[in-house]
Amino acid sequence: MKKYLAILLAALLLLGSLAGCAGSAATASSSSAGTSASAAVPEASASASASSAAGSETAKDYSGITLVFAQDLGTDEDANAATEKVIQDYEDATGITIEFNNIADDYRTWLATQFAAGQGPDVYSGILYDMTTDYQAGYLYNFSDLYEQESAYDAGHAWKDTLPDYIRERMYLTDGSVPGYPTTSQVVRIYYNESMLKDAGCEVPTTWAEFMDVCQKLSDAGYTPFGFPNASYGDLSWLWFCNSISNQLTNAQLSAIDVSGNGYAELNEIVKAFEEGTLTFTSDQLKECYTLMKDFSKYWTSDYNGLDQKTAYDMFSRGEVAMVQGMSTALTSLTAAVNGAFEFGVMPVPTITKDTSEYAMGKSVVLGGQPDIIYGINKDCEKDQKKLEAAIDFVQYMSSPDVQLSFCEAINRLPLSTSTQLPDRLKGFVITEDALRVPYYTGISDEWRDYFHRGGQMYLEGSLSLDEYCDYLNESFTTVCEQLMADNGWSADNNYGLNS
């Protein structure tokens, strides 16, 4: 019996692999990530992106050039289809060969290893923090000149002008260089289950006090109010919520920290503020922030320190929690997972008002709202002028308003370009809150995120008291600052790099 089973399995496998190997040429090009140039003749195709590409580059011919493009696109079918189409259109229009590497998992590990051996991809994307770190490690090409010029796919003004102000400002590093061009912004919202809220007799809250009230009512009605993932700093909830609340409560100190007055606290301004005592984690305002969060935590699932974002989404879809924090790109998968079981909506982080805290500035601060999917170019491309030209053209194409629109339609990726209109279903993601001005917990360094998060876990579960937590934060931040100052050559003498 076992023998026959084994033979059957072997036969199946053989058939399957023969079919697979034989059909691999066909299947590989249609379903796998490695696309190759098909038609070199530019066609007037139906897609907006190709027509704008065809219109402006009749002289462009990159045949013979191969660009390696990497992105952590993930496994979503629609996202992959949309990206492959966009790339295919570009290949058709310019004759170039784009080798697209979709690294769904362990993207940063893969990138680090490739770069360490000197063979990083020619073009790749990432979040601001990662692209900044990569630029500082010497991997990336400086975009600052490009920003001043026109983009081939967005004519009529300097490339940088299509970006909203607060995004554009964030792209400049302290020395004036720019690591890449961003194409989206993750706007984070709180997704809420409408039926549960109605059942508990709640309205959608706008202030923090109302929010706590809603949570209490939900809890009384027998629901778990919030699925808060706090397993690791990669789940971002603790860092983001604290960012928003801290900013809402410390607005009065902003001018003291932001000495350059550009409305945003750069890294060296933060270091200076900490070293000089303007910023300290034992301040009353920040203590209040942590206290508010601790009060909030009683409405979370019992194992929040072990809960990750994906599981939180699942719990929301299953109707086990009434609310969950999420990004705009989660809209599609949540809709499919919920499958019509209930109606849900989105709301921003509630505003802290004066009746909750005397320090409240009365406006909410956006969660997320950072430049994202920033396309960067490998510095090694500078060695080959034609390749560099092609890479720049490709980046400008991928970040053009038309391509941003096509992604918006396909997978709810929020476009950045001010000239793109937002469809109705994404209206809830329009940023109405104040921008994040002091990235206390996310904009410093990964190690700081790690310290802050681990300490936060212990504080929330009661292993550390509030004072112990704040002291721990001051201690850890001192270590982090030392490192930053050593790495960047900042000190009190040169005013932490602010005078240049």
Partner 1 sequence: MKNRRSVGSVLSRILLLLLLLLTLMPFYLLLVNSFKKETDIIHAPFGIPIQWQFMNYVKAMPQILRPMCNSFLVTAAIILLTCVISLLAAYAFSRFRFFLKEPLYFGVIALLMIPGFVLLIPQFVQVVDLGLYDTYWALILVPAAYQVAMGTFLIRSSIEGISPSLFEAATLAGANDLQILRYVVLPMAKPILATVTIMTGLSSWNNYIWPLVASSSDSTKQISVALTALVRDAVYGKGVLFAGYMCASLPIILLFCFASKSFIEGLSQGAVKG
Partner 2 sequence: MRNAVHLPYRRRKSFLEIIRPYLFLIPIYALMVTFKYIPFFHAIEKSFFKWNGGNVNTFIGLQNYVDLFHSKQFGISLVNCLKFCLANIAISLTMPLLAAELLFAVRSAKAQYTIRTLLTFPMVVPGVVVILLWKWILSGDSGVLNAVLSSVGLDSLVTPWLGSSKTALFSVILVGFPWISGLQFLLYYGALQSIPRELFEASRIDGANTWQRFFRLDLPMLASQVKLIVTLAIINGVQVFETIFILTKGGPGTATLVPSLILYDSAFSFKKYGYSAAVGVVMFVLIMIVTVINQKLMKNTESGD
Which residues of the shown chain bind partner 2 in the complex (CB under 8 A)? 2, 108-109, 112, 115-116, 133-134, 136-139, 224, 230-232, 234, 301-308, 311, 315, 318, 320, 445-447, 450, 453-455, 457-458, 461, 463, 487
Q: Does 9 bind partner 1 (CB under 8 A)?
A: yes
Dist. CA 62–CA 273, nearest whole Å: 50
Q: Do 379 and 140 meet the contact criterion of CB atoms below 8 Å apart? A: yes
Please report the sign of the dihedral spanned by the C-alpha atoms of residue 494, residue 497, residue 499, residue 500: positive
Print the binding letters for residues 13-32 with partner 1: x by CB under 8 A, - otherwise.
x--xx-xxx-xx--xx--xx
**Residue 142 binds which one of partner 2, partner 1, none, with CB within 5 to 8 A depending on kind?**
none
Residue 332 engages partner 1 in binding (rule: CB under 8 A)? yes
DSSP state of 47: S
Q: Which is nearer to partner 1, 286 or 312 (CB)?
A: 312
Kindly state the smallest distance separating residue 381's Cβ from partner 1, in Å.
18
Nearer to partner 1, 6 or 155 (CB): 6
Nearest distance, CB of residue 372 and partner 2, angstroms: 19
- With beta carbons less than 8 A apart as the criterion, state whether 414 and 399 touch: no
Size of the site for partner 1 (CB under 8 A): 51
**Cβ distance to partner 2 smaller for residue 134 or 266:** 134
Cβ neighbour number for residue 28 with a 10 Å cutoff: 14
Using DSSP bridges, classify how beta strands 321-327 and 66-71 pair: parallel, antiparallel or unpaired: unpaired
Is the CB of residue 255 less than 8 Å from the CB of residue 483? no
Q: Which one of the spans 6-14, 159-167, 223-231, 257-265 is the region binding partner 1 (CB under 8 A)?
A: 6-14
Of 117, 176, 302, 462, which one interacts with partner 1 (CB under 8 A)?
A: 117
Query: Can residue 46 be called a binding residue for partner 1 (CB under 8 A)?
Result: no
Q: 8 — phi, psi (to 5°)?
A: -60, -45
Min separation Cβ 487 and partner 2, Å: 8
Interface pick for partner 1 out of 157, 298, 318, 425 (rule CB under 8 A): 318
Say which entry of partner 2, partner 1, none residue 27 contacts (CB below 5 to 8 A, set by partner kind).
partner 1
Identify the burial level of 165 via C-beta atoms within 10 angstroms of its C-beta, where 0-12 means exposed, 13-18 middle and 19 or more buried. Answer: exposed
- Least CB distance to partner 1 at residue 97 (A): 13
Binding of partner 1 at residue 102 (CB under 8 A)?
yes
409's contact among partner 2, partner 1, none, with CB below 5 to 8 A by partner kind, is none
Alpha carbon of 441 to those of 444, 446, 475: distances in Å?
7, 9, 15
> How many angstroms separate the CA atoms of 81 and 100, rounded?
12
> Which positions from 121 to 150 touch partner 1 by CB under 8 A, shown as an x/- string?
------------------------------
Reduced to 3 states, what is the DSSP secondary structure of residue 198?
helix
Backbone φ and ψ of 347, nearest 5°: -145, 155
Q: Number of C-alpha atoms within 13 angstroms, CB side, residue 342?
A: 19
Taking the C-alpha atoms of residue 431 and residue 251, their distance in angstroms, rounded to an integer, is: 19
The binder of 307, among partner 1, partner 2, none, by C-beta within 5 to 8 A per type, is partner 2
The single residue among 47, 56, 60, 76 that binds partner 1, judged by CB under 8 A, is 76
User: Which residue type does 429 have?
Assistant: F
Instruction: Copy the structure tokens of residue 61.
Output: 């011919």
According to DSSP, residue 122 is labeled: S
The C-alpha atoms of residue 305 and residue 453 are separated, in whole angstroms, by: 10
What's the DSSP call for residue 322? E
Closest separation between CB of residue 102 and partner 2, Å? 19
Distances in Å between the Cα of 308 and the Cα atoms of 184, 233, 268, 311, 495 are 24, 10, 32, 6, 41
The residue (of 57 and 471) whose beta carbon lies closer to partner 2 is 471
Query: Which segments of 88-215 are extended strands (E)?
Result: 97-102, 123-126, 150-151, 154-158, 181-193
Cβ pair 186, 374 in contact under 8 A: no
Q: Which is nearer to partner 2, 21 or 116 (CB)?
A: 116
**Residue 216 burial (10 A CB sphere; 0-12, 13-18, 19+):** middle
Give which of partner 2, partner 1, none residue 407 binds (C-beta under 5 to 8 Å, depending on kind): none
116 is a contact residue toward partner 1 (CB under 8 A): yes
Single out the segment in contact with partner 1 by CB under 8 A; choices: 8-16, 48-56, 176-184, 400-408.
Answer: 8-16
Nearest distance, CB of residue 334 and partner 1, angstroms: 9
- Per partner kind, with CB cut-offs from 5 to 8 A, the member of partner 2, partner 1, none near residue 445 is partner 2
177: which 2 tokens? 């260089």
Q: Could you list the residues that contact partner 1 (CB under 8 A)? A: 2, 5-6, 9-10, 12-13, 16-17, 19-21, 23-24, 27-28, 31-34, 75-78, 80, 99, 101-106, 109-110, 112-114, 116-119, 314, 317-318, 332-333, 335-339
